């Protein structure tokens, strides 16, 4: 019983860390491997020189940023509700495990929206053989799947309202 709750805390923390690393890193897309150029949601690096690109970017960058930040907040909510559930099971009349489950699934949904928008917007700009997705983009996808797993494990945790079904 306690092992499942600990596993859900570890999954929530791992999901959150991967999402944060994906959000702040600048390796979403690699451009021309010889020059070591790459870009992320916040900055672009060309030959070891990085500059922020905050406002003058295509709209899909803003949308991807927005949904990744929403996913981060939902992930924080999920993680802290899980931690708090070790000390008390409810906050007023709301189950903390239910809050964590909803937070995990919400983080996953926001992450997949951000990734889908980025993929769709980026596909319009891709020139074959020049651009490829980087490791940060992969971490975003991994965090999405981990958030779904976190939500499922938390949902089935003994003591949650759905574990008795």
Which pLDDT tens digit goes with each residue over 52-78?
Answer: 876 777 788 888 999 999 999 999 999
* SS3 letters across the chain: CHHHHHHHHHHHHHHHHHHHHHHHCCCCEEECHHHCEEECCCEEEECCEEEECCCCCCHHHHHHHHHHHHHHHHHHHHHHHHHHCCCCCEECCEEHHHHHHHHHHHHHHHHHHHHHHHHHHHHCCCCCCCEEECHHHHHHHHHHHHHHHHHHHHHCCCCCCCCCC
pLDDT at 6 > cutoff 60 = yes
77 part of a folded domain: yes
42 part of a folded domain: no
**Range(s) of the domain holding residue 148:** 2-25+58-155
* pLDDT for 78: 94
pLDDT at 28 > cutoff 50 = yes
| Predicted confidence (pLDDT) per residue in 82-140, tens digit | 999 888 777 777 888 889 999 999 999 999 999 999 888 765 555 556 677 889 999 99
165 part of a folded domain: no
51 part of a folded domain: no
pLDDT at 9 > cutoff 50 = yes
79 part of a folded domain: yes
Count structural domains, the chain. 1
Average pLDDT over the chain, rounded to an integer: 84
């Amino acid at each position: 019983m306690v092992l499942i709750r600990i596993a859900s805390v570890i999954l929530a923390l791992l999901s959150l860390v991967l999402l944060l690393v994906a959000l702040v890193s600048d390796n979403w897309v690699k451009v021309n491997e010889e020059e070591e150029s790459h870009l992320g949601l916040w900055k672009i690096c060309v030959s070891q020189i990085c500059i922020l690109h905050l406002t003058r970017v295509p709209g899909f960058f803003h949308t991807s940023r927005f949904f990744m930040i929403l996913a981060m907040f939902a992930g924080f909510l999920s993680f802290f509700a899980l931690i708090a559930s070790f000390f008390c099971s409810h906050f007023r009349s709301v189950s903390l495990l239910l809050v964590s489950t909803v937070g995990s699934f919400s983080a996953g949904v926001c992450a997949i929206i951000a990734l889908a928008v980025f993929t769709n917007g980026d596909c319009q700009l891709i020139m074959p053989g020049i651009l490829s997705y980087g490791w940060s983009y992969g971490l975003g996808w991994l965090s999405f799947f981990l958030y779904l797993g976190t939500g499922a494990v938390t949902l089935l945790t003994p003591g949650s309202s759905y574990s008795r079904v």
